[in-house]
């Protein structure tokens, strides 16, 4: 067989050889089409994106937890898609983008993930990362493969779950002030970085934003972590909004780090709570616009949930879309959130809050224009009748 093939090569002209190479090349290009539709890409998969003749664009990417990949600045939603679909997306990106690649031949293939390490928890890109059996990595490098720790990472609570016969769980302290420890990670081990609890401190504080901690945190400590109150802060009506939507107000002294005069302990904050410090000189506005009975600014002294904001606007209009609302934040962020109200619970299921300066927009629901439909139906019916009469 080998000698026959060699003799065949002798008699092939350069043109025939070119045609044979082209046939083999087209087969390799078509193979993703033949087999790519069988498998649906899922989270954690690793894809090898190769561009023939353009090695600078050849890159391996991993499907993140949100089902997306990043390829040279482009974001693609690939979870549930076939390899053929991803192939088309990458090709269109290279052609239409600023990459100036003409007629790219893209081949996307799935990388088998028999050997890898799992990294999850409070890391930037959790997932499974491939390492060869001969590769020897430590715990620090395994976390670096996942983009490093997130801002809510508990560096003192990094767990390494060994997937051998014992399946032991080891906990390590990787805080910056702890000395380096050579902790080896094996194939199929699971690295999990424990997340910290988090709250939001908003209003008249010097550095508003998120605060992360372990367990729970006192109000005084939370205010101190936020830089303390500003000169315009009103500590007599500090608002606490719990994760379940429950709202409460309490009075603090200027020395907020101390207990009140009646020796009652200050309230504590748990994961997902919001602490809001209002302004002592003014009440601020939350704007409720769109299809409500009384649109316009509503003067408030703290955050509100969606149900309270709609109630201040007089409730939904008959034409309002009661399933989804739009929130315009002061920083320019626009988010669409579902509005689901359970009368038995008396609150919205989701705990989205509106802060002073935000705008709540209520859109108009989709309505069928029966008048237009009846008019079009009459025109179509009349036209069909006229055609039938002419044909007869």
At 26, is the pLDDT very low, low, confident or very high (cuts 50, 70, 90)? Answer: very low
- 48 is a domain residue: yes
Residue 2 lies in a domain: no
Q: The domain containing residue 146 runs over which residues?
A: 116-195
Q: How far apart are CA 91 and CA 94, in angstroms?
A: 5
How confident is the model over 8-31, as a mean pLDDT?
45
What's the mean pLDDT when you consider all of the chain?
A: 79
Please indicate, yes or no, whether residues 191 and 206 belong to a single structural domain of this protein. no
Domain total for the chain?
4
Q: How crowded is the C-beta side of 117, counted as CA atoms within 13 Å? A: 26
Q: Which of 111, 126, 149 is the last residue of a domain?
A: 111
Contact 361, 289 (CB under 8 A): yes
CA distances from residue 79 to 46, 64, 123 in whole angstroms, order as listed: 11, 9, 20
Q: Which residues contact 251 (CB under 8 A, 6 or more apart)?
A: 235, 236, 237, 238, 260
With a cut of 50, say whether residue 365 has pLDDT above it.
yes
* CA dist., res. 250 & res. 104, Å (int): 64
- Check whether residue 120 and residue 135 sit in a common domain: yes
Position 379 in a domain: no
Q: What is the mean pLDDT of residues 292-318?
A: 85
> Which pLDDT belongs to residue 38?
61
Task: Judge whether 187 lies within some domain.
Answer: yes
Same domain, 336 and 356: yes
Q: What is the pLDDT of residues 231-288, one digit of tens each?
A: 888 888 888 888 877 888 888 765 565 655 555 667 889 998 999 998 887 777 889 9
pLDDT tens readout for residues 111-161 = 765 678 889 899 998 887 877 666 678 999 999 989 999 999 999 989 998
Residue 207's CATH number: 3.10.560.10
Q: Which of 148, 166, 195 is the last residue of a domain?
A: 195
Whether residue 102 sits in one domain with residue 129: no
CATH number, domain of 85, equals: 3.30.1950.10
> Could you tell me if residue 332 is inside a domain?
yes
What pLDDT digit, counting tens, does each position of 43-55 carry?
A: 878 888 887 777 7
Q: Are residues 344 and 291 in the same domain?
A: yes
Domain boundary among 86, 111, 136: 111
- Whether 51 maps to a domain, the answer reads yes
Pair (203, 243) in one structural domain: yes
Measure the CA–CA gap between 174 and 54, rounded to whole angstroms: 41
């Amino acid at each position: 067989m080998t000698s026959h093939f060699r003799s065949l090569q002798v008699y092939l002209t350069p043109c025939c050889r070119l045609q044979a190479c082209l046939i083999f090349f087209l087969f390799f290009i078509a193979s993703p089409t033949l087999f790519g539709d069988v498998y649906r890409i899922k989270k954690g998969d690793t894809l090898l994106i190769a561009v023939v003749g353009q090695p600078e664009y050849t890159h391996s990417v991993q499907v993140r937890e949100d089902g997306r990949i990043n390829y040279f600045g482009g974001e693609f939603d690939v979870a549930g898609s076939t390899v053929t679909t991803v192939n088309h997306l990458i090709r269109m990106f290279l052609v239409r983008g600023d990459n100036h690649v003409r007629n790219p031949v893209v081949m996307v293939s799935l990388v088998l993930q028999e050997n890898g390490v799992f990294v999850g928890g409070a890391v930037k890109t959790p997932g499974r990362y491939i390492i060869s059996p001969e590769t020897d990595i430590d715990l620090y490098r395994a976390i670096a493969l996942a983009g490093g720790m997130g801002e809510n990472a508990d560096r003192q609570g990094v767990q390494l779950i060994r997937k051998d016969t014992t399946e032991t769980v080891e906990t390590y302290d990787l805080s910056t002030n702890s000395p380096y420890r050579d902790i080896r990670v094996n194939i199929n081990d699971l690295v999990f970085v424990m997340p910290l609890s988090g709250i939001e401190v908003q209003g008249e504080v010097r550095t508003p934003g998120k605060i992360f901690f372990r367990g729970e945190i006192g109000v005084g400590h939370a205010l101190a972590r936020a830089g303390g109150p500003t000169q315009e802060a009103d500590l007599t009506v500090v608002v606490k909004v719990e994760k379940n939507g429950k709202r409460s107000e309490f009075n603090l002294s200027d020395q907020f780090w101390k207990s009140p005069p009646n020796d009652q302990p200050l309230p504590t904050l748990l994961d997902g709570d919001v602490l809001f410090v209002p302004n002592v000189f003014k009440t601020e506005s939350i704007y409720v616009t769109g299809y409500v009975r009384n649109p316009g600014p509503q003067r408030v002294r703290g955050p509100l949930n969606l149900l309270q904001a709609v109630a201040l606007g007089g409730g939904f209009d008959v034409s309002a879309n009661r399933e989804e609302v739009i929130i315009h934040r002061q920083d320019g962020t626009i988010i669409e959130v579902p509005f689901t109200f359970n009368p038995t619970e008396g609150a919205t299921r989701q705990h989205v809050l509106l802060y002073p300066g935000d705008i709540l927009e209520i859109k108009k629901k989709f309505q069928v224009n029966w008048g237009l439909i009846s008019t079009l139906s009459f025109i179509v019916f009349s036209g069909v009748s006229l055609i039938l009469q002419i044909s007869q």
